Each structure stands twice: as structure tokens, then as C-alpha cells.
Structure 1
Amino acid sequence: MGTEVRFISADDHVIEHPEVWSQRLSKQKWGGRIPHLERQADGSDCWLIDGVKHRLLGNGSAGAMMADRGSQPRVWSAIPQTAWAPAQRLKMLDAAGIDYSVLYPTIAGIAGETFGAIRDPELELDCVRAYNDWLIEEWVTCSDRFIPQCIIPLGPIDATVAEIKRAVNRGHKGVIMPPVPRHLRDLPHINDGYYDPVWRTCEELAVPLCFHAGGSPELQMPAYEGFSPAVAAAFDAVARPASAVPIVSNLIVSRVLERFPNLNVVFADTSLGWISFALEATDYEFDQFGVSGQIPYELKPSEAFRRQCYAVGWYDQANLRRACEYPGVANILWAARLPMANSSWPNSLSDCEARLQGLPEYTRAQVLWRNAAALYKVE
């Protein structure tokens, strides 16, 4: 990594092409259960995954690429190539002033939750592996400016660990996990020791564990069905970040961070305003209820977050300045949010520089690229 790096976008998304699964899963074995597009009676496309219908795209998932950010593509052919073709996405990175792009999925679920809901563990694993391989073979092969992160099968746990190791060995630099697995199927609570091998493996491999807001929709209020696509997308973008509050509070209370002190955790698509509330409230309530006296916590909740966690901002201005003070600038990442409707595209670098105006130069560098470069080992 040279001194010319100015911006590492820590939360961008790929839109998965149908060939991700149609070319990698056995048709003889899985047949129509393979994730694929299906044309509906009204002329729109939907995804059919293990016999279950899913929307073509979530609200605003490709909005930055559309002529009208508030519009929602009804068929696959209406989705711009910049959403799913890495060579075209590179041109967008160049135009926006983005040097590296950390990737999250879309069709697989923004936290892999779509596949986490598949009840056949063998099919789930095949779908997950196909996505992880595609990201390396298509995107990283195109350019090492794309920073891949794997999704995981949720069970059995030995398959989860094996896939993390396999994916990281192939080049993945982060591990994406749904924040509430039991919302998806009959699985233990995330605080259960069942998941300790996941935390331990991420810690040993020195890759961050990433929770993406919206990965457990039950934690947020759904958009009203009568909203237009633009209003629904805007509402979702506001509602999602708040879902990080119970996730981070639970993670701290669970003592996962204390038991795995070298585990780094990223909270993506959260913005920054919730951090001070969540940490200050958890510190206060721990004291009020005498929690520290009942359970030997080594660190205050805010201290555990400072040591191991990151939140991703993209529009924040007042919240950014507050977060630089509490919990601190070392815990902040920044994103362009490509290709989402609330992305800063097409002026991503200049937009974020304007939001960081007035902050010390080193602070700006930490937020825009230094923290992400250290976390994802960008060289």
C-alpha cells in the first residue's frame, strides 16, 4: 500500500449474478433448489432459493447506480452492470476517489441471513461456498482493491469453522455473520458456548467478525407496505442503524470480548450516532444494577468496545465529531456504501472530506483509511 491511499470504503456491496450458483452447484443434486431467477406473472423477476421466493433486490440496494435513486428495478436486466460486474465497479471506484472497497453480499443476505435460513445444512453449505469462491475468483482476481469477506454456514458448527478456515486460506479478510442466528432457524442463542469455536477461529486467524445492521430484520420496525420504494428505502436506512444497539450491548454483556480479547468486531451500516448512547447507557446500567459486583467483568463495556470494536459511518458529521471523542477515533471506519441508494456516490471522497473538515489531518487519515488498512491488513 502506497502513500497515495486516501480512502478505504469499509462497507460496500456486491450484487450477486445468477451464475454464482447456477454454475457452481450441481444441477443433478439440487435441481430447482439452486438459487435462480424466476419471471413472475406480473413480468417482474424474483429469486427462488430452495423453493422460497425472495425479492429481486432489497429496498435501495442498487439505487446509486440507477438513473433515479428512488426507483426499484423489477427485472435483472434493469440492474446496471456496475452493481454486479467487478471491472465496471472499478471504474466507479476510480471516479469516486475510492482506493479499496470492503465487500458485503446482497442476494445471500446482507449478513448471509438468506442462506442461514435454509434448513438443509448441505445445501446451505454449497450456497455459501459458491458465494465465497465467486468473490475470490471474479472480484479479487479482477483487482486486489476489492477486499473480500466470507459468509458462513450456521451449522453444524464444525462446518462453520471449516468454511471460515477454507475461505480465509483462499484470501478472505473478514467473516460476516448474522447477529441473531436463532431468528433464522432452531439454533442456540449467540451467547451460547456453541459459538465459541467461531470466535476462537476468527481470533486465531486475525480476521474481523462483521455484523451488518439489518441482518436480523426482527430487530427493526418494518417499512409500511404503502410506502413508495423511495420512502421505504429511506425509512429502512434510518431504522437499520438502531438495531446495532442491542447487538453491541449483548456482545459486551456476554463476555465474548473478554474471553476472546484479540477478536475484532465490525458493526457495519450502523452510522456513528448510536455508539455514545449504547456505551454510556451500558456503563451506567452496569453500575446501577451492581452487575460488576455479581460477575467479574475485567473491563467496563465502553472499554471493551474501545479495545476491540469498530463502527462504520458514511453520512455522519455531528455524530462523527462526538464519536472521535467517545469512544475514540481508533474505533471508526468510513464507507461510500456502493451501490446503495444512500451512497455518497458519485463524489464519495470529496463528500467525506467535507464532513471531516476541521478535524486534524491524522484523525482524518485514521477515519478514511488507516484504521481499515490495519484491520484488513491492506499492504
Structure 2
Amino acid sequence: MTARLDTMDEREMPTKNFFIGVDEHVQERPEVWTKRLSHANWGDRIPHVKKNSNGVERWVVDGRETLLDGVADCGAVMPDRTKNPQRWSEVPAAVYDAKERLKVMDGAGIDYAVLYPTVAGSGGQNFGRIEDPELELACVQAYNDWLLEEWVSVSDRFIPQCLAPLFPVDAAVKEIRRSVANGHKGVIYPSVPMELRDVPHINESVYDPLWAACQELGVPICFHAGASSAIQIPAYEGYSPTIAAAFQAIARPASSVSVLVNLLISKILMRFPELKVVLAESGLGWGAYLLEYTDYQAKGDQLPQNGYDLMPSEMFRRNCYVVGWYDQASLRVRKYIGSENILWSSQFPLATSTWPNTKEALTRSFDGVDVNDRQKILWENAAKLYKIEL
């Protein structure tokens, strides 16, 4: 790199190698599935946009409306950040058009964007609820192929991650192998599959081929915060829509706590020591607490005497990554998490995104953070994880 990063003065920041956004969201166009799936086979079960009697539009998957309050999840680019567009005609192009997204990335200083879905659910949960395995696979494959055809083909600055069928596991592994061979660099999977369908707990050995495939292929498996209702309490019915949205946004990162604790205690990471796990939209604030307390509890419960060859914090630092975007205080105590285990994002175009003030937010967050740690968090960790050429 030619520019110095020991100060966050924008005049000294490079136009390239600024940062890799590891949790950015695409909005699927209405025709993604209607053009790719057989209407003769699936009819209205195909994911599509439906206009309701009151004139608003909603996404329907397998005959059920998704929980998305709107036709896109893009509060950051709306006149009122608390309100998603209710009709497709209101959705800004930068949300669904790859060329327009590149302009946003340039303005925010994002060199590469690791992509997550919207209609499928940020963790793939909306497709995981589909009972028919053939329809589920068709929906998953259509998304995976569309992402390559309409985003990655436009620019290699878009880093694709594939969805996988929830179950059976051999179908998930087959699709992961196909997708990675085609260019996908990560795997998105529901963190609590048994809440979506009548399938085994994720700790059961039946999932071992999933972990093994990700480890063998060298791609991270990604669990997105907020993708499971089983580890979150619902918003109070008496809240206004604005307050309910605020509650959900604030509570969402905490859902990563249970996911990580389970990974550390389940011995999954012991059986698959080279598996890499990303906890997307996790935030950083709970990281130091969790690692300290998990180690403390592990000693008290004598985990080392019960077949654990590493402490939980050691497994975390070997295998796991958390994602920041607004965090300031947690970066001051980053040594308790580990600078090698922190990634960064802008969360575009979600309401919680730092857009349109991403550069200013970055300056605030990294004030006082030394150059080596900045390089790791903003660039090097993600480049290594997703095999991005420096």
C-alpha cells in the first residue's frame, strides 16, 4: 500500500485498499425466480412479488409472505430510514443493480463487498422453511446462479456466498461443491435449522459432512445475526413500527452469542479444526465478555477434563470471526477479542448501515487504533478468509 494508514485523515486514505465490507446485502429483483423456475411445476409457490388489496407489495415464498416489512430491506437509502419501500417502483437502483452499487461502494470507500441475500433471508431461513426439497433446491440454485450472472459478472469486487439446502445434508454438500466450483467464496446457512423444519439439531453428527466440505474447500460458513427467531424475543406488540424496528436492530447482534457458545461447547470446532466461521452482523461489544466468561465457566465445569483440548477462547481465535460496523468502544479493548478475528462492514443498504457517512464512521471507530490492527481488521483478515488478491 502506498498511503499511510496511521492516521484516518481522508486526504491520506488510499482510493483503493480502503476496506472490505464483509456483510453487505443484495436485493433480489422480482424476476430472479420467476424467470428461472418452472411455473408448470411450482406455480405461485415460486418466490415472487405480490400486490395486496391495499396496494402494497410483498414477497411471497412457497405461498407464504416473508416477514420483511416492505418489498426491500433498504432503510439506509430511503427518505425515512425507519420505513422500507412498499412498492418495487420505490426501491432505489443501488439496492438491486450491480453497476449502481459500485458507485455506492466507491463513495463509501468499499473496495470489495461480501454479499448476503434478502428475500431468501439473511441466513437462508426463508428457503429453509420450504418443505418440498426439490422446490427448496431450485430456489437455492436460482439465487446462487443469479448472483454470479448479474453481480459477479459485472465486477470481481463482489464476493459471492452461496446458499445451501437445509436438509438433507448430502444435498447441501452437493450444492456447496457446485457453487464453490462456479466461484462462490463462502457458505450461508441457518444457525438453528431445527426451528425451520423437523430436522436434527445442528450439533448432531449428521451435519459433519457439511462442516467437512467447508473445511476441505477452504470456504467460511456464515451465520447471520437475526436469522433465527428461536434465539430472540419478539418485539412487544404495543410498540410502534419505528420502536419495534429499533428494538429488533438493537437485539439482533446478541443472537450471535448463543450461536457462538454452541459452536465452542459442541466440539464441532474440535472435530473440524480448520473450519472458519463468520458471525455476520454480530457487532463486537459482547465478544470480550463472552470469551472471558466462557473460559471461566469452562474451568469451573472442568471442560479440560472432559475431552476439550483447547479453551473456548482458543477455539474462537483459531476458527471464528465477528463483524463490526459502528463499534468504537470495543475496538479500544480489541486485544480481548483478537485483531485477527475482527472483520468490518458498512451493512449497506440496511437501516443500521453507516451509509451515507461510512468514511466518517470509520474515522471515529478507528481513532487511536494502530496501523497494523487497522490493516488486519479493514483488509487483511477478510482478504485471507475470502482469498482476495492483494
Q: Give the structure-1-normalised TM-score.
A: 0.96
Q: CA deviation at 1:94?
A: 0.8
- 2:361 is matched with 351
Provide the secondary structure at the position in 2 that maps to 1:304: helix
In the alignment, is the contact (CA less than 8 A) between 1:336 and 1:345 conserved in 2? yes
Distance 1:229 1:62, change over 3 A: farther
Take 1:98 and 1:57, find their aligned partners in 2: how far apart are those partners?
28
In the alignment, is the contact (CA less than 8 A) between 2:161 and 2:188 conserved in 1? yes
Q: CA deviation at 1:30?
A: 1.0
- 2:54 is matched with 42
- 1:273 is matched with 285
Take 2:304 and 2:28, find their aligned partners in 1: how far apart are those partners?
46
Q: CA deviation at 1:191?
A: 0.4
Unaligned runs of 5+ in 1: none
Provide the secondary structure at the position in 1 that maps to 2:114: strand
Residue 203 (str. 1) matches residue 215 (str. 2): yes
Q: CA deviation at 1:61?
A: 2.4
Total equivalences in the alignment: 377
Take 2:63 and 2:336, find their aligned partners in 1: how far apart are those partners?
47
- The equivalent position to 1:157 in structure 2, one of 164, 169, 177, is 169
Q: CA deviation at 1:58?
A: 6.5
1:197-276 matches, within 5 Å, as: 197-276=209-288
Take 1:71 and 1:186, find their aligned partners in 2: how far apart are those partners?
34
Take 1:81 and 1:57, find their aligned partners in 2: how far apart are those partners?
19
- The equivalent position to 1:92 in structure 2, one of 104, 116, 119, is 104
The CA deviation string for residues 198-222 of structure 1, in whole angstroms up to 9 with x for no partner, is: 1000000000010000111221122
The CA deviation string for residues 46-105 of structure 1, in whole angstroms up to 9 with x for no partner, is: 122111122454799201111221222211211111111111111110111111111001
- The equivalent position to 1:300 in structure 2, one of 301, 308, 311, is 311
- 1:62 is matched with 74
Over the matched positions of the two proteins, sequence identity in percent amounts to 54
The more displaced of 225-234 and 251-260 is: 225-234
In the alignment, is the contact (CA less than 8 A) between 2:48 and 2:59 conserved in 1? yes
Take 2:65 and 2:373, find their aligned partners in 1: how far apart are those partners?
46
In the alignment, is the contact (CA less than 8 A) between 2:366 and 2:374 conserved in 1? yes
Unaligned runs of 5+ in 2: 4-15
Q: Which amino acid aligns with 1:200?
A: A
Q: CA deviation at 1:2?
A: 9.5
Take 1:58 and 1:153, find their aligned partners in 2: how far apart are those partners?
25
Q: Which amino acid aligns with 1:327?
A: I
Higher-RCO chain (CA-CA 8 Å, sequence separation at least 6)? 1
- 2:118 is matched with 106
Q: CA deviation at 1:319?
A: 1.3
In the alignment, is the contact (CA less than 8 A) between 1:7 and 1:349 conserved in 2? no
Q: CA deviation at 1:281?
A: 1.6
The more displaced of 267-276 and 341-350 is: 341-350
- 1:171 is matched with 183
The more displaced of 58-67 and 327-336 is: 58-67
The CA deviation string for residues 263-282 of structure 1, in whole angstroms up to 9 with x for no partner, is: 00000111001111221121
Residue 146 (str. 1) matches residue 158 (str. 2): yes
Residue 371 (str. 1) matches residue 381 (str. 2): yes
Provide the secondary structure at the position in 1 that maps to 2:66: strand
The CA deviation string for residues 343-379 of structure 1, in whole angstroms up to 9 with x for no partner, is: 1111213321321011111111111111111110111
Provide the secondary structure at the position in 1 that maps to 2:53: coil
The more displaced of 162-171 and 274-283 is: 274-283
Q: Which amino acid aligns with 1:253?
A: I
Q: Which amino acid aligns with 2:159?
A: I
Provide the secondary structure at the position in 2 that maps to 1:190: coil
In the alignment, is the contact (CA less than 8 A) between 1:150 and 1:164 conserved in 2? yes
Take 1:85 and 1:59, find their aligned partners in 2: how far apart are those partners?
15
Q: Which amino acid aligns with 2:29?
A: H
Q: Give the structure-2-normalised TM-score.
A: 0.93
Take 2:350 and 2:289, find their aligned partners in 1: how far apart are those partners?
26
The more displaced of 256-265 and 51-60 is: 51-60
The more displaced of 269-278 and 197-206 is: 269-278
- 2:337 is matched with 327
In the alignment, is the contact (CA less than 8 A) between 1:9 and 1:102 conserved in 2? yes
